[in-house]
Amino acid sequence: MVKFHIKLDSEIPASKQLFDQIQFAIASRQYPPGHRLPSTRQLAMMTGLHRNTISKVYRQLEDTGLV
């Protein structure tokens, strides 16, 4: 499973950090076509972010056509 590293003290919003990391994971085939992303609950537990933040990132990935 892909590990995501969110720096909460960064000037870059956590949602942007996560979006960029998932985007990179998709582009580098760590998440190949047809592979399911973790559920919002799983990803929230992995990253320490709120599920609403994860949902927002997933919506952005959909809007950009990445998923």
What digits encode the pLDDT tens for the residues 10-54?
999 999 999 999 999 999 999 888 889 999 999 999 999 999 999
Q: Quote the pTM value.
A: 0.90
Q: Are 40 and 51 in contact (CB under 8 A)?
A: yes
> What's 38's DSSP letter?
P
- If one counts every other C-beta atom within 10 angstroms of the C-beta of residue 7, the result is 9
**Is 9's pLDDT higher than 80?**
yes
- Confidence (pLDDT) at 32: 87
